[in-house]
Every structure is written in structure tokens, then in C-alpha cells.
Amino acid sequence: MSDIAVSRHPLWWLHPAAVPKRLRGWVIPALLLLLWWAAFRFNWSDSALLVPISKVWQTAERLSSSGELWTALYASLRRDLAGFAIGTLVGLLVGAALGLSRLLEGLVGPTLNTLKQISLFAWIPLISMWFGLGDAAKVAFLSLAAFFPVVLNTFEGIRSVPPELIEAARVFGYRRDQILRRVVLPAALPSIFTGVYLALIYAWLATLGAEYLLTSGAGIGNLLTDGREHFWMDYVLLGIVIVGLVGFALNWIASRFEARLLRWRGHSTAQF
Amino acid sequence: MAHAGTLEIKNLNKQYTVKGEPLPVLENISLSIKPGEFVSIVGSSGCGKSTLLRLVIGLEQEYQGEILLDGKRIVGTSLDRGIVFQEHRLFPWLTVEQNVGVGLLNADLSPAQKKKTVDEHIALVGLKGFETAYPYQLSGGMSQRVAIARALVNRPEVLLLDEPFGALDALTRSHLQQELQRIWEAEGITAILVTHDVEEAVYLGDRVVVMQPRPGRIKRIVDVPLPRSRDRGSYAFSQIKDDVLSEFSDTPHSDVKLVTPQESLGANWQFAW
């Protein structure tokens, strides 16, 4: 039984077994890189709107050894995490308070539901007038971006805890604090996680938005702005690659975390 | 072995208020249950049989009359009463052994004692080897076994069962009925089963309480003086089953007794697994 004797069907590469599952996600990025490389190798384009991969790589090396890249990345990640942390923390507290108290829900809910309809970017003028163009303004904007998904999903998660499970706990004489800690919290956790996960994504998207619109200081967004203004295509492309890689890394961390925390569900929200 | 409780219900009345009007749900229920007795309660939906269980377990506390366990009035929920609901109501974030342990959170036992009693009850319901499985990995029947173990883990005096097998397929149901009988005998506990399945009621009960709806009242109490394990295909079993069933039809009681043994056997014949 040798492989040589087997004549392959002309469409064998469409068969599910042609590409192992783990590698499937890499097919399109690999093809795009190949296309990019080929465009220069075979002189398909001489437009200044595209630079060779090698040029981007060189720029990456140069900016990295000069420290510029790390300064920018550090500045972006720091404000991303600061905004994410503040927004998530406040979102968790407010969401839990609204979920546990009908009174608070009645008082705060309608206002919150109106505010969430306002496009995030519509806050930028207000925020820049209050907080200026520096880090404080950016972190405030990021907090807002992280706050809404967390508050809504936390509230929703607590409200949709099955009353049957609470009854089951009451049968075993659970006190109110025991019901909160051992029934409400774990039952609401998947929804809370969805909120925090969305906050992680929104905060990173908003980091770029904030750096782009509140231009001052360092950051990956500023790298992109510089590239555009000076028509440095390599800067722009490098910036995009880094933004994508960071997003990918954050998503990966979230999915690892979820797999550990919510393994009882047998499936996951965070995917890539 | 647990101490089996004596349950006494005296002149129990319960009503809900719907749109300002009192709506009677249970009317003048009196029932005395001996220690270690298995009582089945059958009735069509809306006859208040589940409400009766909710009162006995203590999830609802407003009623007139008396519910006494070993002579003491029932106030709220307590570890001396366990319940199995129609849905298993397991906590999906806990494993089988953790779910059984849920009942022991407020029990006065050392961690080692808790571990031991959890293990014993998992073995009792025949789930050894599944200790670390999550509910989503279990079938409906297995989940209900876990729910039974959880209800029994505090060694309650009374076990209440609210249509525990209603959502299961026929094969699993009849198997779990046998299992429940075995567990009840092993624990020597007082049990009250609410069901709308007359055969289940007769198979498991020492007595079958027939309830009628609007408002829920006791219509009749039928004794089941058959030795265990009972043979569902036997003539005596069918007779009692028909007797109980006749309470649900408009046919007068005497007419049902005219059914000849041969016909009755044929009509009710089934596999006795």
C-alpha cells in the first residue's frame, strides 16, 4: 500500500481532512502574506500605497531597537488596561446593585438605558473638554467603553438566575449571603464573563479610537497617525499588524481564562 | 439509618389571592402519615398536590390548619425534610459530588464526615464513578438520581417527591421507580410522592391519596396491601390501579369492577422489567 499508487481526486484539497483543524485559521493570513510577498517579487505593483514586507519588518526592527515601538505599545496597553479595569469594576458594582435591588433598577435603569444608546464616540467632545487631550481623557473614554457591556451583562446575568435553583438552596437552609455567593454569583457568571469579555474587546478598540481622536502623547494609535501624516506606509502597516496581534493576544487570554472558570458549561463564548 | 418522621396534616386550608379575590387551592386536607410509610398522592393538574408538598417542605408558609412533623409545627425549610423536584435543579457549575454536598453546607458535620456521607449517597443511587461529572454530561435519569442523593444526604425524616420522574422516558421511569423503592427501603424513611401517573402511585405507595381539583380536596384514600416488589402485571395490581383510575372517570365505581380478569389482564399486560 504505497501512497504513490493512490491517484488523488482533483478536488482533494476541498476535503475536510486536507487541512488539520488546528491549522485552518492560519490559512487566510498565510495566503495574504504570500500574496503580499508575491506582489513585490513579481512586480505586480509599484504603488507607493504598498510597501514590501521586508520594509515593514525593517521598520519594526528599527523602532523596536530604538525603543520607540515599546514605548508606544506600553503606553497603549497601560491605558487600555487602566480603562478596562476602571470601567469593568464600576460596571460590576453598578450591575450587581441594579440586579439585586428593584428600587435601584427603577431609579437608575431608564437613565442608563438612554445613555447606552449614545454612540461612544459622541462622548469624545465632552470628555476632551472636561479632561483635556491627555491620558486622563483617554482612560475616561476607555472606562466608558468597558463600563456599558459589563453593567448590562452583569445586571442581565443576575436577573436571569433561575428561581428554581434559589428555591433548591432555600430547601437546604441557605442564608441570604450563602445564596448570593453560592447560587446567584455562579449562575450569573457566564453572563458576567460575556460582559467582561466584550469590555476587553471594546476597550482595545476604543484605545485606538482615543489615541486617534485625542492626539497627544505616545501610543500605537499615534504611530498610525504619524504614518498617515508623513505618508510612511510601513508605519501604517506595522501599526495595523500590532493592533491585530494585541487583539488576538487579549482574546486568547480571555478564552483561556474562561475555559478555566466556566468549564462546567462544556462550551465557550470567547472564540477566535 | 435515618429516624423516620411522623407527619400529620390537620384541617389544612390554603388560598391564593387573585385580583383581590381569595382563590382556594387546598380545602380541608387531613392526612396522617406513619413513620416509614410511603404515601402517593395522585390528582389531575390544578388539584393543589404540588402546593401541598411546597407547604410541607416549607417553601410556602401561609396556610390555615396544622402541619406537624413529629408533633412539632413546620416553620420554613429544614434539613429534616428533603425534596426532589420534577426538574433535577442541580447546580450546573458543580460536579456530581459537589452537587450532593450542596445539601450539607449548613449541616453540623466535619469535612471528613461530609465527604463520607456524600460518597455513601452517591453509591446509594448507583452513580459511583460519576463523582466528577458535570450535570451537562449526565442523562435525565442520572441527573434525577443525583437529585435524589442530594435530597437524602442530610438523612431527612421525610422525603418529598414532586413528580420526580415526570420528565423521563418510560423505560428510565420504570427503572427509577424500582430504584426509588430500593432506596426508600434501605433508608427506612417516610416518603410522600406526588404524581399524575396512577401506575407509579400504586407501584410505590402503601396508600394512594386521590385528590380532586378546584379546590384541591382529598377524594379518597386507597390502600395498597401488596407485598413488595410489586408485579405490575399481576391481577391484584391491576385491580387496585383500575380502582384508583375509576376515580378520574365519570364512570361509576361499580361499573369498573365488572371488568373480567381475562380482559383486565389483556388490557394491562406489559413487560415487567
Residue-by-residue DSSP string for A116-133? TTS-GGGHHHHHHHHH-S
pLDDT at B260: 46
Using the predicted structure, report yes or no on whether residue A217 has a pLDDT greater than 50. Answer: yes
Of the candidates A167, A178, A264, the beta carbon closest to that of B92 is on A264
Name the nearest CA neighbour of B67 among B133, B14, B121, B3. B14
Q: Is B177 helix (H, G, I), strand (E, B) or coil?
A: helix
Domain coordinates in residue numbering, chain A = 66-262
Nearest CA in chain B to A163: B89
Which residue, chain included where needed, has cell 449541616? B107
What mean pLDDT is predicted for residues A98-105? 90
Domain hosting B122: range is 7-229
In-domain check, residue B125: yes
Name the nearest CA neighbour of B155 among B116, B126, B202, B194. B116
pLDDT at A96: 93
pLDDT tens, A86-101? Answer: 999 999 999 999 999 8
Q: Which residues does chain A have within 8 Å of residue B106's beta carbon, measured at their own beta carbons? A: 172-175, 178
pLDDT at A89: 96
User: Which one-letter amino acid corresponds to residue A65?
Assistant: S
Nearest CA in chain A to B98: A182
Confirm or reject contact between B59 and chain A (CB < 8 A).
yes
If one counts the domains in chain B, the total is: 1
What mean pLDDT is predicted for residues A2-22? 71
pLDDT category of residue A270 using cuts at 50, 70 and 90: low
Helix B261-268 vs helix B235-246: crossing angle, to nearest 10: 80
Using the predicted structure, report yes or no on whether residue A3 has a pLDDT greater than 60. Answer: no
Bridge partners, B13 (sequence order):
B64
- The domain that holds B200 is classified in CATH as 3.40.50.300
Cβ pair B77:A171 closer than 8 A: yes
pLDDT at A141: 92
Residue of B90, B91, B153, B162 best to disrupt the A interface, most CBs of A under 10 A: B91
pLDDT tens, B14-43? Answer: 888 888 888 888 888 888 888 889 999 998
Nearest CA in chain B to A263: B93
Please check whether residue B33 is in contact with residue B6, taking contact to mean a CB–CB distance below 8 angstroms: yes
Would you give the distance in Å from CA A138 to the centre of its chain? 17
Cβ pair B136:A264 closer than 8 A: yes
Of the candidates A168, A189, A263, the beta carbon closest to that of B89 is on A168
Cβ pair A264:B93 closer than 8 A: yes
pLDDT at B257: 43
Cβ pair A171:B154 closer than 8 A: no
Q: Please count the residue pairs, one from chain A and one from chain B, whose beta carbons lie less than 8 angstroms apart.
A: 59
Bridge partners, B39 (sequence order):
B192, B207
Nearest CA in chain B to A175: B106
Using the predicted structure, report yes or no on whether residue A127 has a pLDDT greater than 50. Answer: yes
Confirm or reject contact between B87 and chain A (CB < 8 A).
yes
Distances from the Cα of B219 to the Cαs of B27, B38, B116, B173, in angstroms? Answer: 11, 18, 44, 27
In-domain check, residue B20: yes
Bridge partners, B42 (sequence order):
B195, B210
- Residue-wise over B7-36: b if at least 16 C-beta within 10 A, else e? bebeebebbeeeeeeeeebbbebebebeeb
pLDDT at A84: 94
pLDDT tens, B139-160? Answer: 888 898 899 889 888 888 889 9
* Average pLDDT value for chain A: 86
SS (H, E, C) A168-234: HHHHCCCCHHHHHHHHHHHHHHHHHHHHHHHHHHHHHHHHHHHHHHCCCCCCHHHHHHHHHHHCCHH
Q: Which residues of chain B from 129 to 168 reach within 8 Å of chain A, CB to CB?
A: 134-137, 154
Strand order in the sheet with B81-84: B81-84, B158-162, B190-195, B38-42, B207-212, B217-223
Q: Which residues does chain A have within 8 Å of residue B77's beta carbon, measured at their own beta carbons? A: 170-173
Would you give the distance in Å from CA A19 to the centre of its chain? 28
pTM of the model: 0.78
Confirm or reject contact between B109 and chain A (CB < 8 A).
no
Distance (Å) from the alpha carbon of A186 to chain B's nearest alpha carbon: 7
Using the predicted structure, report yes or no on whether residue A117 has a pLDDT greater than 70. Answer: yes
pLDDT at B2: 55
pLDDT one digit per residue (tens) for chain B, 273 residues? 457 788 888 888 888 888 888 888 888 888 888 888 999 999 887 788 888 888 888 888 888 888 888 878 888 888 888 899 988 899 999 999 999 998 888 888 888 988 898 988 898 888 888 888 898 888 888 898 899 889 888 888 889 999 888 888 888 888 888 888 888 888 888 999 999 888 898 999 899 898 888 888 888 888 888 888 888 888 888 888 888 888 887 544 444 444 444 444 444 444 444
In-domain check, residue B158: yes
pLDDT at B263: 46
In-domain check, residue B45: yes
Distance (Å) from the alpha carbon of B229 to chain A's nearest alpha carbon: 31
Cβ pair A182:B57 closer than 8 A: no
Cβ pair A168:B85 closer than 8 A: yes
pLDDT at A93: 95
Q: Does the predicted interface ipTM exceed a cut of 0.95?
A: no
CA dihedral over B106, B110, B115, B116, signed as positive or negative: negative
State how far the Cα of A69 lies from the Cα of B115, in Å rounded to an integer: 56
Please check whether residue B23 is in contact with residue B209, taking contact to mean a CB–CB distance below 8 angstroms: no
Q: Is A95 helix (H, G, I), strand (E, B) or coil?
A: helix
pLDDT category of residue A82 using cuts at 50, 70 and 90: very high
Q: Which residues does chain A have within 8 Å of residue B92's beta carbon, measured at their own beta carbons? A: 264-265
Residue of A160, A165, A166, A171 best to disrupt the B interface, most CBs of B under 10 A: A171
- Asked if the A66-262 domain carries CATH number 3.40.1280.10, the reply is no
